[in-house]
Each structure stands twice: as structure tokens, then as C-alpha cells.
Amino acid sequence: MKNLVEVKNIKKNYGKNEAVKGISFNIKEDEILGLLGPNGSGKTTTIGMLLGLLKPTSGEILINGQKLEGNRIEILEQINFISPYIELPKKLSVKQNLTVYGKLYKINNINERIEFLSEKLRLGGLLNSITGELSSGQKNRVSLAKALINEPKVLLLDEPTASLDPEVGDFVRSFLEDYKKEKKISILLASHNMNEVTRLCKSILMMKDGIIIDKGNPEELINKHGRKNLEEVFLKLSRSKNELN
């Protein structure tokens, strides 16, 4: 499996504050990589750099073999992002929003694509609804449809199931698993939901204070730290002094 995402020793400083202190990792195709860490550990900054919204102070990011620096537009065509902190325009209908983003991502058969996604994400009856009037679960599925409108090779997910009820959360997780398997895409999943990470991710990066303090698959990490589950591993690492493993 080839690496769709290659992150090479990226650093990000805001003045004297070092938000990310030189981290490296790869994400293979057909892989979901979990990015864990307490608030302020550098996860959002890392995602921002992968999206080209932040310029790394140093280091290099390659997406599908292309350097992000200097190829931002070509790379943005191949990636997408979902976060509970960003929304789609509330006054537009679901279909209007998806059409707008279909156009922005230069999708040829927008209607077909919307139809496909609405079927997969159970949006059929919602296409003419006003986005701002939808429930959290419905909005989440619409945002997911927007994030998949361009058939991204790399999908960045920041807390994709935050504030969802267990049923919708489970639906979204199952959908992501199936979609990743079917399309062989790479997914970076930043989440505080340890059950979700355990279920979806074969490999995990634990970040703290801008560095990767541990990595491995969930089972390995649980055994290595002698804990019962990933949540306990997270708590142990979050409360410990930084140590590179």
C-alpha cells in the first residue's frame, strides 16, 4: 500500500510558542490513522497544515506524492475535511449547498454525485430541507456528504461524531469504514471518543505539547501501558511527562 500522506518533520511556531515541534508520520491508502491528544496538543494545528490553511515553519507535507507547498490547489482537489466547528450556510437547502461545493470542486456530474451520496448517507428526504433547520445528526451527514463530494483520496476528520446520538454515531462510523474499504482512501481521524478510535483505527498517534509521544495500534498501546482500554492509556499519557517512545 502506498503512502497517500507523508508528513516530514513539520514544525509550527506562533511567535515564540512552538505549537508543533517536528512531527513525522505517514498514512497509507485504505488506512485510518487516529490522532489523539489533549486539548492544545497540536492536533488542530497539524490538521490546519495538512489542509494548507497554515504554513509550516519548517518541514514538508506530501499528499499523493505531491508537495503541498507550491501545489495547494491541485492537492485541495484530492482532500476534504469535516469538523463540528465548521458548518455549511444555514439558509441554503441541502441540495443547494452540495451543488455549490460540487461546483467549487469542479465535479462534472453533480446531480449524480449528490444522488449517490444522498442514498449512501440517507439524505434522500432532506435534499430540499433548509440546512439550518436540520438536527445535529442530519447536519453531520450533510457535512459528510460535502466532504465526500469530490471523492477525496484523503479525508481529514476532526471529531466527526461529536454531539451525535449513539445510533447516528454508529451509522457514521460504519459508513466511514465501508467507504474507506471501498475507495481505498486515507483518513486522519482526530477524536476524543476512544471507543470510536479503537473501532476505526489500526494505528494511532498520541500527541502532547506539539510532539508525538507514542504510536501503535490500539491493542499494542493498551498492552504496552498495562491498561484496560484506550481511554486509560490516553489518561496515563496525558498526565505523564513527555517521553518519546
Residues near other proteins (CB under 8 A) are: 14, 44-45, 48, 51-55, 73-74, 76-77, 79-81, 83, 85-90, 101, 104-106, 146
Q: Given the complex with other proteins, which of 87 and 170 has the nearer CB atom? A: 87
Q: Given the complex with other proteins, which of 143 and 198 has the nearer CB atom? A: 143
CB of 29 to other proteins, least distance (A): 20
CB atoms within 10 A of CB 222: 18
Radius of gyration of the chain (CA): 18
Q: Given the complex with other proteins, which of 77 and 170 has the nearer CB atom? A: 77
d(CA 47, CA 80) in angstroms, rounded, equals 11
Residue in the block written with cell 490546519:
48
CB of 57 to other proteins, least distance (A): 8
Residue in the block written with cell 513525522:
24
Kindly report the length of the chain.
245
Q: 86: closest CA among 135, 144, 11?
A: 144
Amino acid type, 89: P
CB of 120 to other proteins, least distance (A): 20
CB of 88 to other proteins, least distance (A): 6
Q: Given the complex with other proteins, which of 186 and 198 has the nearer CB atom? A: 186
Strands 211-216 and 203-208: antiparallel
**CA distances, 148 to each of 46, 115, 208 (Å):** 21, 12, 30
CB of 83 to other proteins, least distance (A): 7
Q: Given the complex with other proteins, which of 51 and 233 has the nearer CB atom? A: 51
CB of 174 to other proteins, least distance (A): 25
Q: 57: closest CA among 46, 67, 66, 44?
A: 46
Q: Given the complex with other proteins, which of 104 and 235 has the nearer CB atom? A: 104
Are 94 and 129 in contact by the 8 Å Cβ rule? The answer is yes
Q: Given the complex with other proteins, which of 45 and 203 has the nearer CB atom? A: 45
Three cell numbers written together for 67: 508537495
Are 25 and 33 in contact by the 8 Å Cβ rule? The answer is yes
CB of 115 to other proteins, least distance (A): 21
